[in-house]
Amino acid sequence: MRYDSVMSLLRDAHNRIIRDLRISLTDRCNFRCFYCLPNGEPPLARKETILSFEEIAYISDIFVSLGIEKIRLTGGEPLLRKDVDKLVAQLTKLKPALHDLALTTNGFDFPRKAEKLKQAGLDRVTISLDSLKPERFREITGVDALEKVLAAIGSAKVHGFEPVKINAVLVRGRNEDEIVDFARFAREYDVKMRFIEFMPLDSGHEWSAEMVVPGREIREKIDEVYPLKLKETNRGSETSWKYSFADGAPGEIGIIAPVTEMFCGACSRIRLTADGQIRTCLFSTVEHNLRDVVRSGATREEIVEFIRGVVLKKEPRHYVNDQTFVQPSRTMSFIGG
CA distance 88 to 275: 18
pLDDT tens per residue across span 235-247: 666 778 899 999 9
The candidate with the shortest Cα–Cα distance to 180, out of 217, 125, 231, 128, is: 217
> Phi and psi dihedrals of 270, rounded to 5?
-145, 155
Q: Let me know: does 88 contact 119? Beta carbons within 8 Å.
A: no
pLDDT of amino acid 323: 64
Instruction: Return the pLDDT at 187.
Output: 98
Average pLDDT over residues 224-234: 92
The Cα 64–Cα 69 span in angstroms is 6
- Write down the domain spans for the chain: 6-335
Element (H, E) at 153: helix 146-158
pTM, two decimal places = 0.90
Smallest CA-to-CA distance from 139 within 35, 253, 6 is with: 35
Q: Please check the confidence at residue 166 and state whether its pLDDT lies above 80.
A: yes
- CATH topology (fold) of 6-335: TIM Barrel (3.20.20)
Q: How far apart are CA 232 and CA 229, in angstroms?
A: 9
CA dihedral 232, 233, 234, 240 (to 10 degrees): 60
The string of pLDDT tens digits covering residues 115-154 is 999 999 999 999 999 999 999 999 999 999 999 999 999 9
Selection from 133, 125, 126, 128 nearest residue 106 by Cα: 128
Q: Which of 185, 256, 264, 174 is nearest to 214 (CA)?
A: 256
Q: How far is CA 212 from CA 16, 55, 104, 245, 304, in A?
A: 28, 38, 22, 25, 39
* Model pLDDT, residue 86: 98
Of 76, 86, 68, 51, nearest to 291 (Cα)?
A: 51
User: Lowest-pLDDT range, 8-17, 158-167, 292-301, 326-335?
Assistant: 326-335
Strands 100-105 and 70-74 come out as parallel
Sign of CA dihedral 139, 145, 151, 152: negative
